[in-house]
Structure 1
Amino acid sequence: MIGEMDADSVVGYFRGKSILITGSTGFLGKVLVEKILRVQPDVKKLYLLIRAPDAESAKLRIQTEIIGREIFHVLKEKHGVQFNNFIEEKICPLLGDIIYENFGLDNAQLEELSKDIDVIVNGAATTNFFERYDVAFDVNVLGVKHVCAFAAKCPKLKMLLHVSTAYVAGEQEGIIPEKPILMGETLKVGTHLDIESELILVKETMRELKASCSTEKDGRKTMKELGLKRARHFGWPNTYVFTKAMGEMIMGNLPIDFPVVIIRPSIITSTLKEPLPGWMEGIKTIDSVVIGYAKQTLPFFLVNLDLIMDVIPGDMVVNAMMVAMAAHSDDQQVQVIYHEW
């Protein structure tokens, strides 16, 4: 059971493992990559799927957007002059994107990669609440389908962990039971969701925009409004959580014969203590409030002291992810486990 696992057994699990991570340039992705490398230097390989025009650009993105960040200073101090060699040995950049089948990798790359992967962590997502519908659909819905299809080709895969969001539950109040979102299930009574129809709608709208020679600005506005309209039609407050919910449906509807964990964090904010207390990157969601308070440009803010603030530090989410991976690997049957924070 998860509660009975100690830190040593969790850390030990990652020894000798090859892990494919999508979304590694995002905030949570960086925290995960750093944590695995710091606590388990004997991990075999971290394959990081990176969007870039070429292999050199992919390496540069890893250097500047991941390894070069302040969060890696503790690891650099630990390895000293051997740090770059350590990173070279452990991190393998993969030039690709989850919006494409097989991530856009060629057959030779695909075959070699699939044979080596033990664990897949799908953290890639567009988290913009009001993203263009076509973009959000490509990443948050079809991307999940492509990740699962690749996972099915990995003969030694031990488990797949998918990062979702607690807000797939929409704006419901009270106690919300942890359960899978069934294909076609919506949050508004009297509606039924057909993902294939939504895909057709996206494609037809894009065709109409192209046929009418719409400007890029008009096209962007139309697709953003469409995403919001469809989300609210089915009971979700915005395009982000709507497409993340569809991604979960896709995952639950595919013929999967390996353990799956879907983790649903709430609002992810700065690290609590590991590897640096209070580390954050960019100003997203509630971060502006945290920074405003730290700099005293916002000396106070109104709260209801009887309520719990729905935020979770990034390092706590990563800890939960690592425990979930270690606890649910090699299950004899498919289990979809939901962890909400």
Structure 2
Amino acid sequence: MTKDGNNNRGAAESGVQRFYDGANILVTGATGFVGKALVEKLLRSCPGIETIFLLIRTKKGMSPKERLKELLDNGVFDRVRDSGALSKVVAIAGDVMDPGLGISESDKARLTSQVTIVFHSAATVKFNEKLQDAVKLNTMGTQAVIELCKDMAKLQAVVHVSTAYSNANRTHVDEKVYPPPASPIGVVECVKHLSPDLVEHLGEAIIAKDHPNTYTVTKAMAEALVSEEAENLPISIVRPSIVTGAWQEPFPGWVDNISGITGIMMEIGRGTIRSIICNEKYLVDIIPVDIVVDTLIVAAWQTANSRRNSVTVYNCTSGSLNPIYWHQLGKLTLKHSKTTPSKYLQWYPGFSFTTNRGLHNFRHLLQHELPAFLVDLLLRIKGSKPIMLKLCQRFSMAAKTGEFFALHEWKFTCENQKSLARDLNKEDQVLFNTDITKLSWDSYIHLFMHGIRKYVMKDTPETLPAAMRKLNRLLWFHRIGKMLMMLLAYKLIRTIRFR
């Protein structure tokens, strides 16, 4: 059996594949990072699937059908493009922010009569989202999906994609649903009936208690709603930590965005980030997207086969199973940014972590804003549009929104997560890898940095020799710059001393 699952099934038949035979699946959030990888994996490794319905909203003047075509044209689906599997994917016009998901009556009738498995992945992952929008997407959207699921005649499993940081106020997080920071129904009613300004004041009050942002608050409230329906629905919750590029599938290192830690690693590799607010002694809980996707697929199978009256929670995390610390991640990022540099290098890679905000602000001014200002000055002289200072400020804001997670550490229990691999036969353990313990962080970060270069920066292998030459030139400039700075500091000290 290959990872593709394209074989004639024999004695060692895949139980998970058999579960998905004839399945009609509804996926929300399919245009997101995890959503794309999930749809691709289902099509490739579960060939018996009947239909995958994707809830897609109109966006930027593009209809759901046009957005579906754009999605399926994405390179992530190249491994299944010639198999005819893409014809199984159907767009359902709707929006999780609309009442009843904005689905037409005819589409609702089709979904409620056919769908057997639901993956609810749609959410806003912006940490600084206004509470009103975060509640509509993360909490009310989940509520609407649950209501739709209640009408599904053939429903076997619902998997709600949450986050390991839905309980960011706790340092130890078990695989259970905790009391939310506020009543989900109460907050939903406030969003429906109060002015946006009053809702934002409410959000500030809730966050001030013990949560870092509206994202974690609204995901916690969504979990509470899911838990309340566990007696009525076969439902489970998967909590990924920080989702990063693919370990093996659909392609090693595959990633399609620069959100969060991916953007920071990219800019470290380009030499533009020199200082980061972070406690380097803490665990950084990152999890490859293909581990997350396989966990979702197997969780649905396990949920259907072991119906319980309480919700099963899977902490899809790495910290307690295969830990890596911030200082290790930093060193590996630097190491592999120098073995496969990009032609978009701005300076020789090098940075440091600090928890001292004053020191960080000084470094930020000297090593981030000043160089960006000088580059913009040169661009103005050449008659080009200045962009570097704006980019610098944008990445600074992005880093600031994630500071809470770099200055705190969590311990996640993973017994249910470990049970997924234990319950699989050997065939399924190959097809659906939920085990993070076999991953080597050194080789993985190499793949991830290469993936950022290839899939995000669109840098081709042909540019590598020129990029290596550029890296070596920048190394000399970097050394000369350090020597000049040391000489300047020496002269200043002598001047002050002998004055």
The answer as to whether partners of 1:152 and 1:256 remain within 8 angstroms in 2 is no
Q: Which has the higher contact order (CA 8 A, sep 6+)?
A: 1
CA distance, structure 1, for counterparts of residue 37 and residue 124 of structure 2: 18
* RMSD value, Cα: 2.7
2:265 is equivalent to residue 290 of structure 1: yes
1:138 alignment counterpart: 136
Q: Deviations over 1:269-321 (max 9, x none)?
A: 11111011111112101011222345565699898776432111111100111
Please list, as runs of the form range in 1=range in 2, the aligned pairs for 1:320-339 lying within 5 A after superposition. 320-339=295-314
CA separation of 1:335 and 1:304: change in aligned 2, threshold 3 A: same
2:147 alignment counterpart: 149
CA distance, structure 2, for counterparts of residue 130 and residue 224 of structure 1: 14
2:165 alignment counterpart: 167
2:56 is equivalent to residue 50 of structure 1: yes
Q: State the Cα distance separating 1:71 from its structure 2 match.
A: 1.3
2:126 alignment counterpart: 128
Equivalent position SS for 1:125: coil
Q: State the Cα distance separating 1:120 from its structure 2 match.
A: 0.6
CA distance, structure 2, for counterparts of residue 129 and residue 54 of structure 1: 23
2:3 is equivalent to residue 14 of structure 1: no
Q: Report the AA paired with residue 45 of structure 2.
A: V
The alignment's TM-score, normalised by the length of structure 2, stands at 0.56
Q: State the Cα distance separating 1:8 from its structure 2 match.
A: 2.3
1:104 alignment counterpart: 102
CA distance, structure 2, for counterparts of residue 225 and residue 54 of structure 1: 27
CA distance, structure 2, for counterparts of residue 54 and residue 92 of structure 1: 20
User: 2:228 pairs with 232, 253, 259, which one?
Assistant: 253
1:176 alignment counterpart: 173
CA separation of 1:299 and 1:204: change in aligned 2, threshold 3 A: closer
Q: Report the AA paired with residue 178 of structure 1.
A: E
CA distance, structure 1, for counterparts of residue 170 and residue 202 of structure 2: 20
CA distance, structure 2, for counterparts of residue 277 and residue 226 of structure 1: 44
CA separation of 1:7 and 1:201: change in aligned 2, threshold 3 A: farther
Q: Which runs of 5+ in 1 are unaligned?
A: 1-5, 187-192, 210-221
CA distance, structure 1, for counterparts of residue 229 and residue 146 of structure 2: 8
1:244 alignment counterpart: 219
Q: Report the AA paired with residue 137 of structure 1.
A: V
The answer as to whether partners of 1:231 and 1:237 remain within 8 angstroms in 2 is no
Q: Report the AA paired with residue 187 of structure 2.
A: E
2:39 is equivalent to residue 33 of structure 1: yes
Q: Which moved more, 1:107-116 or 1:147-156?
A: 107-116
CA separation of 1:7 and 1:180: change in aligned 2, threshold 3 A: farther
How many residues are matched?
305
The answer as to whether partners of 2:57 and 2:94 remain within 8 angstroms in 1 is yes
Q: Which runs of 4+ in 1 moved over 6 A?
A: 53-56, 299-305
CA distance, structure 1, for counterparts of residue 178 and residue 202 of structure 2: 20
1:212 alignment counterpart: none
Please list, as runs of the form range in 1=range in 2, the aligned pairs for 1:80-95 lying within 5 A after superposition. 83=84, 86-88=85-87, 90-95=88-93
CA separation of 1:223 and 1:12: change in aligned 2, threshold 3 A: farther
CA distance, structure 2, for counterparts of residue 333 and residue 203 of structure 1: 33
2:277 is equivalent to residue 280 of structure 1: no
CA separation of 1:238 and 1:249: change in aligned 2, threshold 3 A: same
